[in-house]
Amino acid sequence: MKYISTRGGAEPQEFSDILLGGLAPDGGLYLPESYPQVADELDSWRGLSYAELAFEILSLYITDIPTSDLKAICDKTYTARTYCWSRDPAKAQDIVPLTSLEADFHLLELSNGPTLAFKDMAMQLLGNLFEYVLDKRDETINILGATSGDTGSAAEYAMRGKHNVRVFMLSPEGRMSAFQRAQMYSLQDANIFNIAVRGMFDDAQDIVKAVSNDAEFKARYKIGAVNSINWARVMAQVVYYFKGYFEATRSGQEEVAFAVPSGNFGNICAGHIARMMGLPISRLVLATNENDVLDEFFRTGIYRPRNTAETHVTSSPSMDISKASNFERFIFDLVGRDAAIVRQLWREVDAGGSFSLADGPFAARLPSYGFVSGSSSHADRLATIRDVWQHHGIMIDTHTADGVKVAREHRVADVPMIILETAQPVKFAETIREALGRDPLRPAGFDGIENLPQKVEVVDATVDQVKDIIVRHC
């Protein structure tokens, strides 16, 4: 399988060559040349374990790693030991257990990994793939990133102790929850460097961009990224749509719907790809919070990214996104994989503008991709958390609540609705207390993590101070 850029200006590449990079050199995102068709495999895949299923799917997309090595990577990544924080410990073997709220209305638990958010599902695989490819090539990488919470901790837990990898993770000083800070800063591994920046998330993000734009520094210190546009992350997420499908159906003839709390369009993009591969998904329900850029697109055909000043700070913070970086992948498919059209549309977006597909050929084609959407407010979130707790005895986090709220608006009789559960409530304790008047449930292994010693360097929001830290540790 070769990978091409959504903007058409890059040579087709093998998987291992795009794994360690971010954007394609022409500014586009990588996608496989075609989507393997698997409708005929569904019944034979039904009984597979998560690791076996991951191997079947990934081996269609990764053709430059020997199959026995890829199998070993899948087996090592998807173990019940790593994804052990399930509501029902007896279900940990499932890796992504299904919990039913009522008939044909289910949660797919994706947040049972080491950082209690769904990003572990892909990031743990990325850690093992990075280590494998770097070992083969005898190369090193210094991952530089900025985080407002979930991404940074998932990256650190995936890369801790790995050969040839260091992580430099910037976070805004004092702006993450105490639990999130404790998760990241209590890591004592020699290859993990936490850097708290005196400023906001955007200041941290700007520093990462400035360092990455310094071509000489970037090459000299082998700076890399693990951000959400990385193809391997999207690919890894395709697997759980299949697993969720098998859990909620009895035969490969049945259809299901998925509801996905969305920010950067990474998670739901994987659902789109699963559907393109032939998984019978009747609807992909996209849920946003108050930052409703994507909901607006699927309702009106107008894509109007906001600037950071227009982005709301909400109680589902991992969805506070003004510009959905993976959205370009879907548009590439929608416009018939015509890179010239994508280039033209993103000329507007990259210049701070918007585009409309409301009239013309693509508006007519849009419904055939199965997307519907809706948005949620803080009050909706509180009401949904309360309702699910009172009626089902199940505690959900704020992002999952956005998914449940919008899923309810798009239910169709006799079609199972599967809501992707993207984080555990303990990460967002303040809103849980507001909704339920009590502390969130805390998985046993996380008792008292706020009291562990923390390792973090605090710096001013300047590029030079961050570069100094990288130079000092390399």
Ligand X SMILES: *Cc1c(COP(=O)(O)O)cnc(C)c1O
Name the residues that contact ligand X, by CB under 6 A: 117, 119, 150, 228, 261-267, 318-319, 399, 422-423
**3-state secondary structure labels for all residues of the chain:** CCEEECCCCCCCECHHHHHCCCCCCCCCCEEECCCCCCHHHHHHHCCCCHHHHHHHHHHHHCCCCCHHHHHHHHHHHCCCCCCCCCCCHHHHHHCCCEEEEECCEEEEECCCCCCCECHHHHHHHHHHHHHHHHHHHCCCEEEEEECCCHHHHHHHHHHCCCCCEEEEEEEECCCCCHHHHHHHHCCCCCCEEEEEEECCHHHHHHHHHHHHHCHHHHHHCCEECCCCCCHHHHHHHHHHHHHHHHHHCCCCCCCEEEEEECCCCHHHHHHHHHHHCCCCEEEEEEEECCCCHHHHHHHHCEECCCCHHHCCCCCCHHHCCCCCCCHHHHHHHHCCCCHHHHHHHHHHHHCCCCEECCCCHHHHHHHHHCEEEEECCHHHHHHHHHHHHHHHCCCCCHHHHHHHHHHHHCCCCCCCEEEEECECHHHHHHHHHHHHCCCCCCCHHHCCHHHCCCCCEEEECCHHHHHHHHHHHC
Residue 374 beta carbon to ligand X: minimum distance, rounded to whole angstroms: 15
Residue 337 beta carbon to ligand X: minimum distance, rounded to whole angstroms: 22
Residue 406 beta carbon to ligand X: minimum distance, rounded to whole angstroms: 13
Residue 379 beta carbon to ligand X: minimum distance, rounded to whole angstroms: 19
Residue 40 beta carbon to ligand X: minimum distance, rounded to whole angstroms: 29
Instruction: Give 127 or 263: the residue with its C-beta nearer to ligand X.
Output: 263
Instruction: Give 243 or 399: the residue with its C-beta nearer to ligand X.
Output: 399
Residue 414 beta carbon to ligand X: minimum distance, rounded to whole angstroms: 28
| Active centre residues (catalytic) | 119
Instruction: Give 10 or 420: the residue with its C-beta nearer to ligand X.
Output: 420
Instruction: Give 77 or 262: the residue with its C-beta nearer to ligand X.
Output: 262
Instruction: Give 418 or 470: the residue with its C-beta nearer to ligand X.
Output: 418
Instruction: Give 191 or 288: the residue with its C-beta nearer to ligand X.
Output: 288
